[in-house]
Amino acid sequence: MKSGFICAHIARLALAFVLVSTARPGQSQAAPAQNFSKFSSVTLFLADAKRGVAGEGLTHAFWERDGRTEVSGVEGVECRSLSLANPEAAKGYFYFTLDPTFKEQDVSRVRIDVEYFDGMNGKAGVFGLQYDATGSPNGSSSKPLLPNVALNGSGRWLTNSFHVRDGGFQNAQNARSDFRLWASPAELSVSRVTVTRESDAPMPKPLAFDAAGEAKLREWNRQWDSGARPSFSGGTNETDGVRWLEVRAEVAGAGSWRTAPLLEAGNYQFVGRARATDSAGGNAVMLRVSGRPSAGSARLTSEWRTLTYDFTVAALEHVELACEFRGEQGGARFDVDSLKLVRKSKAAP
């Protein structure tokens, strides 16, 4: 009986070998790895992303703890949407890895096109791209590519292009990824991502200053920074016509209004007026530059108060400016028309 079982088992193995060796393309036999070194671009339709499958030169780590996504359909478009274990996380991520053969040619300058859903009515937020710039001057594994993209709740599918000029793409991010999209709050749907080699990227113009060396700041987007989700709003006072942006917390949390102008080398001062919306104590308000030490926070009253933050820019770059509120309860308003940059000195050519 035992010898018969062994013979039958050997026969099944032999049959399996024959079936695999004679399998037609597209069946169980694995397809040979594709070489993308001569490709000018690679594209991933996220609904097609599968674990361990190379795809078309770009893979998506949809299983990563802080970047878990699920296949979904939004307004008739197949996509992947963030689906974190903690739905109240301040941020969520989409992780992507370029095929090693695509990176055999120069990928330091690429354009990354992202097709994303702008959110349903009332679903406002922000998303951005962080890429692996290791190996380049001042590079890091998660260098932000500014400016970020506001989610305005238009209910439409849109495309944004990110132009990378110093990519390293050495698999230095989570899940050995090369770049990631982040969203705050963690609510974002993406249908397609394309990476294209780009020798000449359009050069945006730096922020223009008037004769007095001042420039108004515009294009503010909201960002949930930490703690419980704050609320954001904007409006105009009926009494004095002051236009304002507000951050409010019902429990301990932090949020900010942000913009990222392109600045030439020089010394600058970020200026703006702010006031508290109520008398709750322990709340802190500040103007600052993201990624740099703060100059300290202010305890505000209901009266408008002018805040300042001085900083230096060494070379042409986007600088993210933040009007930030941190507190356990209450809120702060920022006078939109008072928010400006003063150029204190311009670097010598």
Domain ranges of the chain: 41-197, 214-346
Residue 179's closest CA among 217, 133, 218?
A: 133
Hey, how many other C-beta atoms are within 10 angstroms of the C-beta on 8?
Answer: 10
Hey, how many other C-beta atoms are within 10 angstroms of the C-beta on 152?
Answer: 16
- In Å, how far are 131, 191, 298 from 118, measured between CA atoms? 22, 12, 35
Q: Report, at the CATH architecture level, how domain 41-197 is classified.
A: Sandwich (2.60)
Instruction: Name the one residue in this structure whose structure tokens are 């053969």.
Output: 101
Contact yes or no for 240/250 (Cβ under 8 A) = no
Would you state the pLDDT for residue 13? 39
The tally of CA atoms less than 13 A away on the side-chain side of residue 38 is 2
Question: What value does the mean pLDDT take over residues 188-196?
Answer: 98
pLDDT digits (tens, 9 = 90+) for 287-298: 999 999 888 888
End-to-end CA distance of the chain: 91
Least confident of 91-105, 127-141, 205-219: 127-141
- In percent, how much of the chain has pLDDT > 90? 72
Instruction: Name the one residue in this structure whose structure tokens are 């922020």.
Output: 207
Same fold, 41-197 and 214-346: yes
Hey, how many other C-beta atoms are within 10 angstroms of the C-beta on 157?
Answer: 18
Pick the CATH number of 214-346 from 2.60.40.10, 3.40.50.300, 2.60.120.260, 1.10.150.120: 2.60.120.260
pLDDT digits (tens, 9 = 90+) for 22-60: 334 444 344 567 899 999 999 999 999 877 665 689 999
Q: Which amino acid would we find at residue 323?
A: C
Specify the pTM: 0.85
pLDDT digits (tens, 9 = 90+) for 132-150: 998 776 778 899 999 999 9
Measured between alpha carbons, how far is 215 from 67 in angstroms, rounded to an integer? 38
Residue 127's closest CA among 246, 57, 221, 29?
A: 221
Residue 240 in tokens:
């004095």
